[in-house]
Chain A
Amino acid sequence: MLDVKNLKVRVEDKEILRGITLSVKAGEVHAIMGPNGSGKSTFARALAGHPGYEVTEGSVTYKGQDLLEMDPDERAREGVFMAFQYPVEIPGVNNAYFLKAALNAKRKHQGLEELDAMDFMALVKEKAKILDIDEKMLLRSVNEGFSGGEKKRNEIFHMAVLEPALAVLDETDSGLDIDALRIVSQGVNAMRSPDRAFIVVTHYQRLLNYIVPDYVHVLSDGCLVRSGGRELALELEEKGYGWLEAAPRLGSGQAVVGARK
Chain B
Amino acid sequence: MSTATKQIEELANTEYKYGFATDVEQDIIPVGLDEDVVRLISSKKGEPQWLLDWRLKAFRAWLKMTEPHWQNVTYAPIDYQGVSYYAAPSEKKKLNSLDEVDPEIRATFNKLGIPIEEQKLLSNVAVDAVFDSVSVATTFRSKLAELGIIFCSFSEAVKDHPDLVKEYLGSVVPHTDNYFAALNSAVFSDGSFVYIPKGTRCPMELSTYFRINAKNTGQFERTLIIADEGAYVSYLEGCTAPMRDENQLHAAVVELIAHKDATIKYSTVQNWYPGDKNGKGGIYNFVTKRGICKGDRSKITWTQVETGSAVTWKYPSCILQGDDSVGEFYSVAVTNNFQQADTGTKMIHLGKNTRSTIVSKGISAGKGQNTYRGAVKIGKKAANARNYSQCDSLLIGDRCGAHTFPYLEIKNTTAKVEHEASTSKIGEDQMFYCESRGITKEDAINMIVSGFCKDVFRELPMEFAVEAQKLLGISLEGSVG
CA distance A196 to B387 in the complex (A): 55
Q: Given A101-B439, A105-B438, A51–B432 Cβ distance below 8 Å?
A: yes
- Chain B residues within 8 Å of A103, by CB: 438
One of B10-18, B98-106, B124-132, B451-459 at the interface: B451-459
| CB of A71 within 8 Å of the partner chain | yes
Of chain A, the residue at the smallest CB distance from B3 is A51
Contact A91 to B451, CB < 8 A, known contacts A51-B3, A52-B4: yes
Measured between beta carbons, the chain A residues less than 8 angstroms from B455 are 92
State whether the Cβ of B429 lies closer than 8 Å to any Cβ in chain A.
Answer: yes
Rounded to whole Å, the gap between the CB of B202 and the closest CB of chain A is 31
A105, B443: Cβ atoms under 8 Å?
yes
* Inter-chain contact B433/A105, CB cutoff 8 Å: no
Q: Does B73 contact A (CB under 8 A)?
A: no
Chain A residues near B435: list those with CB within 8 A: 49, 71-73, 76
Closest-by-CB residue of A relative to B449 is A92
| A51 touching B428 in the complex, CB below 8 Å, given contacts A91-B451, A93-B447, A98-B447 | yes
Q: How far is the CA of A87 from the CA of B436 in the complex (A)?
A: 11
User: Which residue from chain A places its CB closest to the CB of B433 in the assembled complex?
Assistant: A88
Decide: A105 near B451, CB < 8 A? Known: A72-B432, A88-B433. no
How would residues 95 to 135 of chain A score, 1 for a CB under 8 Å from any chain B CB and 0 otherwise? Answer: 00011011101100100000000000000000000000000
- In whole Å, how far is A169's beta carbon from the nearest beta carbon of chain B? 13
Q: Is the CB of A73 within 8 A of B433?
A: no
Which one of A73, A77, A93 lies within 8 Å of B448 (CB-CB)? A93
A76–B436 CB distance below 8 A: yes
Residues of chain B with a CB closer than 8 A to A77's CB: 438
A88 to chain B: closest residue by CB? B433
Complex Cα distance, B452 from A180, in Å, reads: 31
Give min CB distance, A47 to chain B, whole Å.
10
* A contact residues, range: 20 to 34
Question: Given the complex, which residues of B lie within 8 Å of A105, measured CB to CB?
Answer: 438-440, 443
| A161: nearest chain-B partner, CB-CB | B437
Bound-state Cα–Cα, A77 to B443, Å: 14
Say if the beta carbon of A90 comes within 8 Å of chain B: yes
On chain B, the residues within 8 Å of A101 by CB distance are 439, 443, 447
Distance (whole angstroms) from the CB of B423 to the closest CB of chain A: 13
Q: Is the CB of B451 within 8 A of A76?
A: no
CB of A92 within 8 A of CB of B453, answer yes
Q: Identify which of A72, A102, A103, A141 gathers the most chain B CB atoms within 10 Å of its CB.
A: A72
Question: Are A52 and B450 in touch, CB under 8 angstroms?
Answer: no
Whether B452 pairs with A162 at a CB distance below 8 angstroms is: no
A90 touches B440 (CB 8 A): no
A75 vs B450: C-alpha distance when bound (angstroms):
25
Shortest distance in angstroms between B84's beta carbon and chain A's nearest beta carbon?
44
Q: Please indicate the chain B residues that have their CB under 8 angstroms from the CB of A92 in the complex.
A: 450-455
Question: In the docked arrangement, what's the CA distance between A158 and B433, Å?
Answer: 12
| Cβ distance B222 to chain A, nearest Cβ, rounded Å | 36
Q: How far is the CA of A63 from the CA of B430 in the complex (A)?
A: 27
A82 proximal to B (CB < 8 A): yes
Within the complex, the shortest CB–CB distance from A100 to chain B, in Å, comes to 10
Chain A residues within 8 Å of B430, by CB: 88, 90
Q: Is A84 an interface residue (CB 8 A)?
A: yes
Enumerate chain B residues within 8 angstroms of A106, measured Cβ to Cβ. Answer: 438
Whether B441 is near chain A, meaning CB under 8 Å from some CB there, is: yes
A173: shortest Cβ distance to chain B, in Å?
20
A88 touches B443 (CB 8 A): no
Q: Is there an interface contact between B448 and A90, defined as CB atoms closer than 8 Å?
A: yes
A residues 147-163 in Cβ contact with B at 8 Å:
158, 162
Interface residues of A in 229-260 (CB under 8 A from B): none
B2 sits at the interface (CB 8 A): yes
Residues from chain A with a CB closer than 8 A to the CB of B454 are 92
Decide if A102 touches B439 in the complex (CB within 8 Å).
yes
Interface residues of B in 424-481 (CB under 8 A from A): 427-430, 432-441, 443, 447-448, 450-455
Residue numbers in B under 8 Å from A73 (CB-CB): 434-436, 438-441
List chain A positions with a Cβ less than 8 A from chain B.
48-52, 71-73, 75-77, 81-82, 84, 87-88, 90-93, 98-99, 101-103, 105-106, 109, 141, 158, 162
**CB-defined A-B contacts under 8 Å, sample of 17:** A49-B435, A51-B432, A75-B436, A88-B429, A88-B432, A88-B433, A90-B448, A90-B451, A91-B452, A92-B454, A92-B455, A93-B447, A93-B450, A101-B447, A102-B434, A102-B437, A102-B438
> Shortest 3 CB-CB distances between A and B: which pairs?
A92-B451, A76-B438, A93-B451
Known: A51-B4, A73-B440, A105-B439. 5 other contacts (CB 8 A): A72-B435, A88-B427, A101-B439, A106-B438, A109-B438
